[in-house]
Amino acid sequence: MKILVTGGLGFIGSHTTVELQNKGYEVIIIDDLSNSTEKVLDGIVAITGKRPIFEKIDLKDRSKVEDFFKRHQDVAGVIHFAASKAVGESVEKPLLYYENNIGTLVYLLKELSKKNKSSFIFSSSCTVYGQADKMPITESAPVKTAESPYGNTKQMGEEIIRDTCKVTPGINAIALRYFNPMGAHPSAEIGELPIGVPQNLVPFITQTGMGIREQLSVFGGDYPTEDGTCIRDYIYVVDLAKAHVVALERLLNGKNQDNYEVFNVGTGKGSSVLEVIKSFEKVSGKKLNYKIVDRRPGDITSAYADTTKANKVLGWKAESTLDEAMKSAWLWEEKIRK
């Protein structure tokens, strides 16, 4: 069965490609290489023994999207990761984010609506909840006004899919609202490969531990939390990748209750920035050079998931601990710097 993975050479996309191939699916990757590299294919092959089909396509080019679906009419499902994803950058370049994250989604859905039946998994985010009123966050928590254009593109993306599903019974879709992915494949063949300065906490920590970055800036030490730093739900990327496969199979096997469903994907446990730093120091045996600086615009105090629905309805659960995920991130960092 053919599955299209957009952004399949990215961090989560590459790990999901591995899990799909391990389950016998034929994967086609579309990626524009704006935040990834073709070398990731070699890592996927090293793990699975199979090279996915790769097409370098910019999904903003509608004619190329149309052409792709004409050539691959037997695509049974789509997992859509391709998007710009840095909160800070989105505040500075909102139009780039709206074009790249919304325009491309519309083009994909237009092609899928031409098919009799299609299964669509959307890479959404806990940013849709903004600063939620209570923790842990359930799927029924209100979607708040977005704190950043990035968060807004995820909210709008969900709305566009929901509206499309209402009038297109052939499309079955699941939005996975995930929390903070981290870590790398245990083989250390693939992992998070930020281009330039990392926008995510964990690669910044591991690069600082390696001496590539002089110091980690911890944005805000005066939040109303136990140690004053932000709290997030850090989920191991392989656990997250498996959630995508479980969600896709729910649609392919017709187990979904509605043709548009939403699930939180997290561990259900919040960790502060300082706890994440301590985890790194524990698994690496290194002292991390960090400094608490001013808060960053668009950041919220706390976000961690209530995963009851994913556990019970999807039948998926995060398995790995923060320390295990951190250890894999550090092994990956050590490997790529050799």
Q: How confident is the model at residue 86 (pLDDT cuts 50, 70, 90)?
A: confident
**3-state SS assignment for residue 184:** coil
Average pLDDT estimate for 43-72 = 98
Exposure class string for 312-338: b at 16+ Cβ within 10 A, else e? eebebebebebebbbbbbbbbbeeeee
Average pLDDT estimate for 80-106 = 95
Q: Where are the beta strands (DSSP E) in 109-223?
A: 118-125, 171-178, 180-182, 216-219
Q: What was the pLDDT predicted at 119? A: 98
Position 336 pLDDT exceeds 90: yes
**3-state SS assignment for residue 291:** strand
Q: How confident is the model at residue 36 (pLDDT cuts 50, 70, 90)?
A: very high
Q: What was the pLDDT predicted at 68? A: 98
User: How far is it, in rounded angstroms, from Cα 217 to Cα 239?
Assistant: 28
| pTM of the complete model | 0.97
Q: What was the pLDDT predicted at 71? A: 98
Q: Where are the beta strands (DSSP E) in the chain?
A: 2-6, 26-31, 53-56, 75-80, 118-125, 171-178, 180-182, 216-219, 231-232, 234-236, 260-265, 271-272, 290-293, 302-303
Annotated active-site residue 234? The verdict is no
Q: What was the pLDDT predicted at 300? A: 87
Q: What was the pLDDT predicted at 130? A: 85
Average pLDDT estimate for 123-136 = 93
Q: What was the pLDDT predicted at 180? A: 96
Exposure class string for 161-191: b at 16+ Cβ within 10 A, else e? beebbeebeebbbbbbbbbbbbbbbeebbbb
Q: What was the pLDDT predicted at 88? A: 82
Average pLDDT estimate for 257-286 = 98
- Of 107, 129, 150, 260, the active-site residue reads 150
- DSSP structure string for 302-319: EE-B--HHIIIII-----
Q: Could you tell me the domains of the chain?
A: 2-182+235-265 (3.40.50.720)
Radius of gyration (C-alpha) of the chain in whole angstroms: 19
- Which has the closest alpha carbon to 304: 273, 249, 267, 263? 267
Report phi then psi at 176, rounded to 5. -100, 115
- Which has the closest alpha carbon to 330: 199, 202, 195, 198? 202
User: How far is it, in rounded angstroms, from Cα 90 to Cα 102?
Assistant: 13
283-314 confidence digits (pLDDT tens): 999 999 999 999 987 788 999 999 999 999 99
Position 253 pLDDT exceeds 80: yes
Q: What was the pLDDT predicted at 195? A: 82
Q: How confident is the model at residue 202 (pLDDT cuts 50, 70, 90)?
A: very high
